[in-house]
With several copies, the nearest count.
Chain A
Amino acid sequence: MNSDVFNIKCFGIATDIIGERTYQIESNSIKNVGELRLYLDSKFEQLKTLNNYMIAVNHSYALPEDCIDPSDEIAILPPVSGG
């Protein structure tokens, strides 16, 4: 795996919007969750039609200021609806 490729897991409606279960981003400039969100929002306009979405890093909800690097497990979580 290339060291500057982020592998982003997609779930629920995010898979439909992004068109893949794992979306790859090759980037040296994305350093935190906020930058990742800006990238995704510009690339996939439809993400803005959601009732928000969250980013998880290593199985925890992440804040915009949380740092990420390609070795992290990153996921796009649209609004959950379990239960």
Chain B
Amino acid sequence: MTTNIKISSEPLSIDTAYQSVIDASNGGNCLFVGTVRDINKDKKVTHLDFETYGPMAISELKKIAVECQTKFDITKISIFHREGKVSITEIAVIIAVSSKHRKACFLACEYAIDQLKMNVPIWKKEHLEGGSFWVGARP
């Protein structure tokens, strides 16, 4: 079982994520790549800022990786997340999973991004043309 967790202020590489999970005994590889959209709720976004509670975020991401390996028949998983300023179409998050058969890598990849969005202490500040706000903080 191999897990790779990274929080980085540099651009994330899909190739690095993919290379970290490929395995001659696995035939299925699923990658989720979350990118920054230009429009959110009809407002024009200029860029995002991600704030992270570093050590806890790493710890929660590791928990997700280990949980995926327990719940699904996968062998390798990598989770990379950006921090700091991220521009439109840039990659905010990559989750890469490999498994012997394909069903497991899809399930694990989707589970991992769902859990990440619910539990990992990372906060997104959306910068719009007319101001900025913390996403999801208020009803």
**CB pair A56 B34 closer than 8 Å:** no
Across the interface, do B139 and A83 meet the contact criterion of CB distance under 8 Å? no
Is A3's CB within 8 Å of the partner chain B? no
**In the complex, A60→B118 CA distance in Å?**
14
Question: For the complex, is B5 an interface residue (Cβ under 8 Å from A)?
Answer: no
| A-side interface size class | 20 to 34
12 additional A-B residue pairs with CB within 8 Å, beyond A59-B56, A80-B123, A83-B117: A11-B53, A12-B51, A16-B134, A51-B136, A78-B123, A78-B134, A78-B137, A80-B117, A81-B135, A82-B116, A82-B123, A83-B81
A12-B134 in contact given A59-B59, A80-B117, A80-B123 (Cβ < 8 Å): yes
Give Cα distance in the complex from A11 to B136, angstroms.
14
A82–B138 contact, CB under 8 A? no
A-side contacts of B113, CB under 8 Å: 83
A79 touching B120, Cβ below 8 Å: no
Closest chain A CB from B100 CB (angstroms): 14
Binding site for A on B (CB under 8 A): 34, 50-53, 55-57, 59, 81, 92-93, 113, 116-125, 134-139
Interface majority SS on B: helix, strand, loop or mixed? Answer: mixed
Out of B119, B121, B135, B138, name the residue touching A11 (CB < 8 Å).
B121
The 8 Å CB contact of B134, one of A13, A56, A59, A77, is A13
Which residues of chain A are within 8 angstroms of B59 by Cβ–Cβ distance?
59-60
Chain B residue at minimum C-beta to C-beta distance from A58: B56
A78 to B136, CA, bound (A): 9
Please measure, in the bound complex, the distance between the C-alpha atom of A77 and the C-alpha atom of B137, giving whole angstroms: 10
Q: List 19 A-B pairs, Cβ < 8 Å.
A: A11-B121, A12-B125, A50-B138, A51-B139, A61-B119, A75-B56, A77-B121, A78-B123, A78-B134, A80-B117, A80-B121, A81-B123, A81-B137, A82-B57, A82-B92, A82-B93, A82-B121, A83-B34, A83-B122
A9 within 8 A of B: yes
A-B pairs, top 3 by smallest CB distance, nearest first, are: A82-B122, A12-B123, A59-B56
- Answer yes or no: A49 CB below 8 A from chain B CBs: yes
